[in-house]
Amino acid sequence: MSMDALRALVRRLRAKLADDIIENRIDEGYSISKLSAVQHENLQNHTEQNMEALQEENRLLRLGKEVLLKKSTTDPLTGLYNRVKMEEVFLYEQKQFFRHGDDFSMILMDLDNFKAINDNYGHNIGDNYLRELAGTLTEFFRNVDMIGRWGGEEFLILLPRTSLEEAKKMALRLSAKVSAIDCPRIGQQTASFGLATLTRGDTLSTVVGRADKGLFLAKKRGKNRVEITV
């Protein structure tokens, strides 16, 4: 059920509840004070049932909102954050950086030769590997770090309160973790990494641009490397 349908259902239920109460309170000119004990009890039971139904619809509405929010912020294949959510997280962390001055770095990771996997083994095998990789990334990074699928086989990791040197150490350890993944049929794979750290004059585009230059350099120098450009 869509959000609009849920909202419409709640509105109709609220309106029906109000109408039912009015109809039971005034019947052929008699006020509720003149109703019998049985009628009072029936009215109370009916009202309670409607209130329970309304509470259930509100619960479903909240659940629907949560489902839609998750769909709008996560990558359906890997379950990681999507590009839109990563841009939102970056803006928040950028404000924290301006306010507190803590280090804020990022890792841009791209799988080496991944196109050959899809070409030689099919997209289902490639998708299985990406899901396996997403699990490895989630286990590897801290709770404060944000991991997103930036596009295709490219992943962006935002590292609050992390210097460029610390980010490099993490990327080197991650490189070993990625190489250790043994996916059925395709075997072990490698990845290349570009790193950057935020400065006060940066936007998302400029800092990701520096990380992308590092990634390009890693590919140029033979892949399966970690590189930093200034």
- Residues with active-site annotation: 153
Residue length, the chain? Answer: 230
DSSP 74: B
Element of type H or E holding 148: strand 146-151
Q: For helices 123-140 and 164-180, give the axis angle rounded to 10 degrees.
A: 130
The whole-angstrom separation of Cα 125 and Cα 189 is: 13
- Nearest in space to 97 (alpha carbons), one of 197, 165, 213: 197
64 is written with which tokens?
A: 């629907």
> What is the per-residue DSSP string for 42-66?
HHHHHHHHHHHHHHHHHHHHHHHHH
Whether 172 and 114 have beta carbons less than 8 Å apart is answered as no
The whole-angstrom separation of Cα 223 and Cα 101 is: 33
- In our burial notation (b when 16+ CB lie closer than 10 A, e otherwise), range 7-16 reads eeeeeebeee
